[in-house]
Chain A
Amino acid sequence: KAGVTQTPRYLIKTRGQQVTLSCSPISGHRSVSWYQQTPGQGLQFLFEYFSETQRNKGNFPGRFSGRQFSNSRSEMNVSTLELGDSALYLCASSSRDSLGTEAFFGQGTRLTVV
């Protein structure tokens, strides 16, 4: 069974640009969550989607947005990039809609903003 796939693995963008990251969950998983990982702030929750609906959102500015498609694949978008957006962005998928279900993570997309 294939794991969570994130594309691209690495990305370099210029300040002010926008970027779209993609995540394909494990087959059959309907919940997809996104996290930002930086050395200073650690792992922070961005948002979570289930059946194309955003159920949960972290404390990030509106420049960060996401969506989920009917096949459960998800994208996140960051507009007007800032240097501080440089981070590893991780996507995770879960199989069941119940509390305490473990999340399976992709390898991440390393975004560098210059």
Chain B
Amino acid sequence: AQSVTQLGSHVSVSEGALVLLRCNYSSSVPPYLFWYVQYPNQGLQLLLKYTSAATLVKGINGFEAEFKKSETSFHLTKPSAHMRDAAEYFCASSGTSYGKLTFGQGTILTVHP
């Protein structure tokens, strides 16, 4: 069965600082992994996805994530945080089940001026 764990329900950074949001997955098969962002009272917006083509994945808004099989991790990073990055971020995986995503519990990112 698929499972996704996000370490840290809240992360706070200063504007301009590095953003690091952690995600670990558990899967018996090679996973497909995704990062989504959710702004208040909105749906989920796809930031990036990993589908085994490359271990370093670049997404929108300057975010990227690196797939590390040995660590079963898919951490999300951004070199320099901006106020508009404040939102909740979700890591998700899909395995062999069509149309089903398994989500982590989410990480709320706060950006201080």
Contacts of A103 in B (CB 8 A): 46, 99, 101
**B32 in complex: contacting residue of A58, A99, A104, CB < 8 Å:** A99
CB contacts under 8 Å to A, within B66-112, are 90, 92, 94-106
Task: Kindly state the separation between the CA atoms of A19 and B50 in the bound complex, as whole angstroms.
Answer: 36
Q: Which residues of A contact B (CB under 8 A)?
A: 4, 6, 31-33, 35, 42-43, 45, 48-50, 55-56, 58, 90, 92, 94, 97, 99-100, 102-108, 110
Is B25 close to A, CB under 8 A? no
Bound together, the chains give a CA A108 to CA B44 distance in angstroms of 9
Q: Are B103 and A42 in contact (CB under 8 A)?
A: yes
Contact A99 B103 (CB under 8 A): no
Number of A-B contacts (CB under 8 A): 68
Contact yes or no, A99 B43, CB < 8 A: no
**Which residues on B sit within 8 Å (CB–CB) of A55?**
98-99
Chain B interface (Cβ within 8 Å of chain A)? 32, 34, 36, 41-46, 49, 51, 90, 92, 94-106
In the bound assembly, the distance between CA atoms of A106 and B44 in angstroms comes to 7
Main secondary structure of the interface of A (DSSP, over half): strand
Contact of B98 among A4, A58, A92, A99 (CB under 8 A): A99
Most buried by A among B32, B43, B97: B43
| Beta-carbon contact of B101 and A45 below 8 Å | yes
For A56, give its contact among B44, B97, B105, B106 (CB under 8 Å): B97
Q: Which residues of A lie under 8 Å from residue B104 when comparing CB positions?
A: 42
* CB atoms of B99 and A90 under 8 A apart: no
Are A100 and B94 touching (Cβ within 8 A)? Answer: yes
Tell me whether A108 and B99 are in contact in the complex, defined as CB-CB below 8 angstroms, given that A43-B90, A102-B49 are known contacts. Answer: no
Do B46 and A97 touch across chains, with their CB atoms under 8 A apart? Answer: no
| B90 partner residues in chain A, CB cutoff 8 A | 43
